[in-house]
Structure 1
């Protein structure tokens, strides 16, 4: 008699955003403590295979295992509470990570996910995408959006944004498809000089083989992107996409299959109505000359 086929319910479910964040943060804490996986195994007696599966989001750590890891990593009470909450809610899909949350200090929960993605499709209606911003443009945007925030906090965000751009470098950079409403290029952020440099930088980045830039012209009229900006993160064929929306309440992550399908359909529509990469390059060159 042949083996019984596994039931659909027995198949391993793809990791949720919460589980991915828990795994990423546990890796970061171990590395910050200067410990190898073998060191952790020796100190906690957690099985090396279990530790590997925890750090790659293949399994949720049991509470006692999580507590043992956090004891070795010497985390603060506040971080411990955040990670325990992630462990408890690890199977829940969809997540609003509020600005007041302190899981990663002043880093967004989005950064860790972006670092693991193979591709990002970024639609922006008002800004140049963060991965394509110059430092001066980023500083002007962050100060404009957060006028009451302390200068040092804003500078920390500028630094984090510049560090994120390392994803575009190296042998296996993230593949970025940026779609911008033309309005984002006409809004003066900072000075004329800042906009001049930003347009030149955008045009230069668009020439790179792993970066595609398209502009939706004013002549396209109303379109599905007008309700707001979003990013589709793609992790490969074995992991579902994650939709990220930067809202006034914080980082919103969408993971349901229907939501992913809807946003991917929107992306296809926006690509279709946007100028081709070649025509986009011509428009960027014209705008750069005007500035």
Structure 2
């Protein structure tokens, strides 16, 4: 821990056993809001970092009642996207404008960041470092501990972010990504036309039953997290509608390679 305190030292400060502290820190037992406050004071955590965890502990006990009482005005997710994704067991991504950071090559990443508006860059809410990417990819390989369903709009394949050669290399990298055991890539063809409410978003699910799914949207003013069931439902429904329009796996792979080769030929 960054505080330098041992389990026994923390337990002495909060007046309970080291075993309880260990189980709380490893998510083996539910944590109450009172426990959160006690640990936060013991570790000298400031208000900015403490409040989201405090409200999250309250909400975890009865999410529906919490949402009704607070009117959905109390945000419980205050982590970066990378921090939340690292805890997820199932990630559903809909990418209709730009590929998700998990699959970016360095050149594609540089091109996306160059095109960001200043407000987004200053907030840093799109930060997604190489170490985190490597950790996520390792969870999708061999015996995967993570599952990713990536739904792409066909137009994304033809948008030459960073130029034709950069995009061609990115699509070849995407084809490699699609072969990982924990990954499935789906393609929504242009022929589908417009599906009502189409937008890019991510749904994240977790192994722990006390944690509800969350929806994430990347906006110019910063990350937007949707935690209430009524807020998440339209995105779940949209994901289902888009999935019903996707191509078969072999056709998706064929169009992916074809788009990459066309871009490479253009670059030549």
Q: State the TM-score, normalizing by the size of structure 1.
A: 0.71
Partner of residue 93, structure 2: 122
Q: Structure 1 stretches of 5 or more lacking a match? A: 1-29, 98-102
**Alpha-carbon distance change, 240 to 44 in structure 1, aligned in 2, over 3 angstroms:** closer
Partner of residue 111, structure 1: 82
**Alpha-carbon distance change, 146 to 161 in structure 1, aligned in 2, over 3 angstroms:** farther
Is 130-139 or 162-171 further displaced after alignment? 162-171
- Which residue, 135, 153, 166 being the options, matches 1:166? 135
Partner of residue 70, structure 1: 43
In 2, Cα distance between the equivalents of 1:64 and 1:205? 42
Partner of residue 253, structure 2: 281
Partner of residue 262, structure 2: 290
- Which residue, 224, 233, 236 being the options, matches 1:264? 236
State the 1:191 CA deviation: 2.5
C-alpha offsets along residues 56-110 of structure 1, whole Å, 9 cap, x if unaligned?
Answer: 3822343751443333xxx5xxxx120233255333555797xxxxx7xxxx522
- Which residue, 162, 166, 173 being the options, matches 1:201? 173
> Alignment RMSD, CA only?
3.1
SS in 2 for 1:122: strand
In 2, Cα distance between the equivalents of 1:218 and 1:150? 31
State the 1:278 CA deviation: 1.6
Q: Is the 8 A contact 2:205 2:212 kept in 1?
A: yes
SS in 2 for 1:157: coil
SS in 1 for 2:194: coil
State the 1:280 CA deviation: 0.9
Is 123-132 or 54-63 further displaced after alignment? 54-63
In 1, Cα distance between the equivalents of 2:176 and 2:49? 41
**Alpha-carbon distance change, 211 to 58 in structure 1, aligned in 2, over 3 angstroms:** same
Partner of residue 5, structure 1: none
Partner of residue 142, structure 1: 113
Alignment of 1:214-229 (within 5 A): 214-224=186-196, 226=198, 228-229=199-200
Q: Structure 2 stretches of 5 or more lacking a match? A: 60-65, 264-268
SS in 2 for 1:273: coil
**Alpha-carbon distance change, 95 to 132 in structure 1, aligned in 2, over 3 angstroms:** farther
Alignment of 1:32-51 (within 5 A): 32-42=2-12, 44-51=14-21
**Alpha-carbon distance change, 241 to 222 in structure 1, aligned in 2, over 3 angstroms:** same
State the 1:149 CA deviation: 7.6
